[in-house]
Amino acid sequence: MLNIESISKGFGDQVLLEETGMQINPGERVGLVGRNGHGKTTLLNMIAGIDHPDEGRISVPGGYRIGMLSQHIRFKKDTVLKEAMLGLPEHERDHFWKGEKILAGLGFSTQDMQKDPTLFSGGYQVRLNLAKVLVSEPDLLILDEPTNYLDITSIRWISRFLVTWPREVLLVTHDRGFMDNVVTHIVGIHRRKMRKIKGDTAKYYLQVAQDEEIYEKTRQNEAKRKKEIEQFITRFRAKARLANMVQSRIKTLSKLENKDKLAELKNLEFSFNSLPFPGKQLLTARDLTFGWDKGDPLFEDFSLTVYPEDRVAVIGKNGKGKTTLLKLLNQGMDPDKGWVKANPGVANGYFEQTNVQSLNPGFTVEEELLHAYPDTDRQAARNICGAMMFEQDAALKKISVLSGGEKARVMLGKLLIRPLNLLLLDEPSNHLDIEACDAFVAALNHFDGAVVLVTHNEMFLHALANRLVVFKQDGISVFEGTYQEFLEKEGWEDEGPAPVKQGPEKHTGQTTLSKKELRKRKSEIVAMRSKELGPLQKKITKIEDEIEEKEEKINGVNQALLEASTNQDGQNIQALSKELAGLESDVETLFDALEEKSDKAEIIKKKFDKLLSDVERC
């Protein structure tokens, strides 16, 4: 059990935590949420003993072991298996099968386990660190963004592994679906305080929103009451017969607290700049073959056509060629065989994590955006800086002083500033917090062009994908359908049945499968609602734009009619009146269409709201 009492922590003028605390009880799996830069990693470091609070204390029982995933690479043994076994307790140092089980789940083959750890990529070396902490079986397992270096099958494996973990877990991840699958409780860092609730992220964010709404209403009511009391005192202070009542009001006024208005918290809110594309096909790839080793290709004879409004998700294990395929589609490298052709009028934007190295360290954020699209003006660049949470002077920060997450936001900003109709995105969510991921999904849903996305985030897959490019052991293929349909019809190889998610006091074999199934069903309903409403909402927006355009023309014709009337120009009056009648008829027709589409959208919303309501009652 972990107990945090009245801790405070800050760096310079920035206060992260202020006289706050929480407790993790036996068997609880806790998800830690909060905006980037609000203290999540700092809190984990204090719990692990790497850092210390300025005030307050963190206490654990004697003999309580804490294990934390380290991002630092330091190996002592000459094979992966031997290195993993260093995490085993002393009395289990010969239980090699425990290390093998964990390593296999994290994507290491039997041959890999006998190789030198230093031969692997940085991502696999972090996986080995994860294996060491998992086999150590600590009382409290601390995981800070463990999914960043895992592929989708390993993420699904560790999700199942953690659900059966018999002790405590403290988890930080931007992958909301992964977190909700694993945790029993949420602790949020919000306005320098920690708050713990039982349930998932949706319940936590709803509770925070309700609390802030209640606070604001209470603040307004108390401010109104205080003003009324002050007016009474001022008005009747001089009247002797009301002296007792005035004194009573003065005492009441002294007891009333001054509630400050809550500071507005900036969210990542943005939309992509869509460039219309009149054709039927944006991009075509035919018979692509590529391999770093010519005798061992990553994939062979692969073909894909990307259509407007496509949401193509590229999924599979690491090392199979997902990023390579995206680079080929971007025409940043040449295939060994085959070809890629973008049709005339295609403007694509490409995002890759390693592309942050392309940023000019001497530029400010604003200058980097202006350099990406010289045709724009400074105000447009500033607006996008604000959308990416670089407001006012923050837009003048040098690229060289930004964190990894901030640089990733600059890369996204460079995609926003240019008009595009095709987005090629490689793991864009790794440096975004949960709130930013939600905003990113919404922006992609409203983008008028096509998206080809490499991601291991299953929330993204459920919410966005309508087609899949799937890398499996037996090769690469295109699946025509949603991610949920893929799981139902094909699924991943070597994946056993999902374990029963148990709460902290439920280690007796009793199941809570119904809750897991309900959460899964809710996710499916949200994805279906988005799929049905998305195209309809675009049509509604288009009609609204047409109405606005027609009404502007009507204003112009009315002005011209007024001038023609003043000039007694009968011929012009007749022509303008005819034009005005036509425009008004067009607007009436558009309003009828808008009403029809809006009614249809409302019916769809009510249908899915009812489905969600029915699920909530289960």
Rounded Cα distance between 265 and 297, Å, is: 49
Rounded Cα distance between 140 and 1, Å, is: 8
Q: What's the whole-number mean pLDDT along residues 69-95?
A: 85
Rounded Cα distance between 132 and 67, Å, is: 9
Residue 512 has pLDDT above 50, yes or no: no
Rounded Cα distance between 391 and 507, Å, is: 49
Q: What is the structure's pLDDT at 570?
A: 78
Q: Give me the helix-helix angle, 434-446 and 513-566, nearest 10°.
A: 50
Per-residue b/e over 69-93, b at no fewer than 16 CB within 10 Å?
Answer: beeeeebeeeebbbbbbebbeeeee
Indicate the residue type of 174: H
Sign (positive/negative) of CA torsion 206, 192, 266, 268? negative
- What secondary structure letter does DSSP report for 20? E
Residue 18 has pLDDT above 80, yes or no: yes
Rounded Cα distance between 519 and 178, Å, is: 12
3-state SS record for 386-436: HHCCCCHHHHHCEHHHCCHHHHHHHHHHHHHHCCECEEEEECCCCCCCHHH
Spatial CA neighbour of 270 closest among 347, 192, 383, 168:
383
Q: What is the structure's pLDDT at 413?
A: 86
Rounded Cα distance between 343 and 165, Å, is: 51
Q: CB burial class (10 A; 0-12, 13-18, 19+) of residue 224?
A: exposed
| Residue 137: both structure tokens together | 């079986």
Helices (H), ranges, 456-569: 458-464, 483-489, 513-566
Q: What's the whole-number mean pLDDT along residues 509-538?
A: 64
Residue 222 contacts by C-beta under 8 Å, 6 or more apart in sequence? Answer: 256, 257, 259
Phi, psi (degrees; rounded to nearest 5) at 425: -125, 125
pLDDT band (50, 70, 90) for residue 600: confident
pLDDT tens, 478-496?
A: 999 999 999 888 888 665 4
Rounded Cα distance between 352 and 360, Å, is: 16
Q: What's the whole-number mean pLDDT along residues 154-163?
A: 89
Rounded Cα distance between 416 and 349, Å, is: 9
Instruction: State how far the alpha carbon of 72 is from the alpha carbons of 62, 68, 125, 169, 576, in Å.
Output: 27, 11, 9, 21, 75
Specify the higher pLDDT residue, 613 or 107.
107
% residues pLDDT > 90 (the chain): 33
Q: What is the pTM of this model?
A: 0.69
Q: What's the whole-number mean pLDDT along residues 586-592?
A: 78
CATH number, domain 283-489: 3.40.50.300
Rounded Cα distance between 156 and 569, Å, is: 76
pLDDT band (50, 70, 90) for residue 613: low
* CATH fold match for the domains 2-204 and 283-489: yes
| Residue 475: both structure tokens together | 């090769």
Q: What is the structure's pLDDT at 350?
A: 92
Sign (positive/negative) of CA torsion 586, 587, 590, 596? negative
Residue 462 has pLDDT above 60, yes or no: yes
Residue 521 has pLDDT above 80, yes or no: no
Rounded Cα distance between 103 and 259, Å, is: 53
299-307 long-range CB contacts below 8 Å, 24 or more apart?
A: 299/325, 299/471, 299/475, 299/476, 300/475, 301/337, 301/338, 302/338, 302/476, 303/338, 304/329, 304/469, 304/478, 305/281, 306/281, 306/282, 306/422, 306/450, 306/452, 307/280, 307/281, 307/282, 307/450
Distance of CA 296 to the CA centre of its chain: 36
Spatial CA neighbour of 389 closest among 367, 413, 373, 371:
413
Q: What is the structure's pLDDT at 506?
A: 43
Q: What's the whole-number mean pLDDT along residues 145-160?
A: 86
Query: How many alpha carbons fall within 13 Å on the CB side of residue 251?
Result: 6
Residue 147 has pLDDT above 50, yes or no: yes
Q: What's the whole-number mean pLDDT along residues 295-320?
A: 90
Rounded Cα distance between 102 and 84, Å, is: 9
pLDDT tens, 373-413?
A: 888 888 888 888 887 878 888 889 999 988 777 888 888 88
Q: Are strands 185-190 and 29-33 parallel, antiparallel or unpaired?
A: parallel
Specify the higher pLDDT residue, 183 or 517.
183
| Residue 404: both structure tokens together | 């990894």
Q: What is the structure's pLDDT at 515?
A: 56
* Domain parsing of the chain, residue ranges: 2-204, 205-255, 283-489, 513-617
pLDDT tens, 94-146?
A: 888 888 989 988 888 899 999 998 888 777 888 898 899 899 889 999 998 88
Q: Which residue has the tokens 């009474």?
A: 232
Quick one: the chain helix, strand, coil %, rounded to 5?
A: 50, 20, 30
pLDDT tens, 545-570?
A: 787 788 788 888 888 887 877 777 77
Strand partners of residue 351:
425
Q: What is the structure's pLDDT at 509?
A: 36
| Residue 8: both structure tokens together | 């405070």
| Residue 568: both structure tokens together | 């007694």
Under a CB-based contact definition with an 8 Å cutoff, are residues 324 and 312 in contact? no
Q: Mean pLDDT across the chain, nearest whole number?
A: 84
The CA-based dihedral angle spanning residues 261, 9, 207, 213, taken in that order and rounded to the nearest 10 degrees: 0
Rounded Cα distance between 101 and 91, Å, is: 18
Q: What is the structure's pLDDT at 499?
A: 57
Residue 511 has pLDDT above 60, yes or no: no
Rounded Cα distance between 57 and 43, Å, is: 12
The size of the chain, in residues, is 618
pLDDT band (50, 70, 90) for residue 611: low
Residue 592 contacts by C-beta under 8 Å, 6 or more apart in sequence? Answer: none
Stretch among 39-48, 157-166, 268-277 having the lowest mean pLDDT: 268-277
Residue 591 has pLDDT above 60, yes or no: yes
Residue 226 has pLDDT above 90, yes or no: no
CATH number, domain 2-204: 3.40.50.300
Q: Are strands 2-11 and 14-24 parallel, antiparallel or unpaired?
A: antiparallel
Stretch among 2-6, 68-72, 338-342, 606-610 having the lowest mean pLDDT: 606-610
Rounded Cα distance between 372 and 417, Å, is: 8
Residue 21 contacts by C-beta under 8 Å, 6 or more apart in sequence? Answer: 3, 4, 5, 6, 7, 56, 194
Q: What is the structure's pLDDT at 614?
A: 61
Strand partners of residue 424:
350, 452
Per-residue b/e over 423-444, b at no fewer than 16 CB within 10 Å?
Answer: bbbbbbbbbbbbbbbbbbbebb
Give the three-class secondary structure for 187.
strand
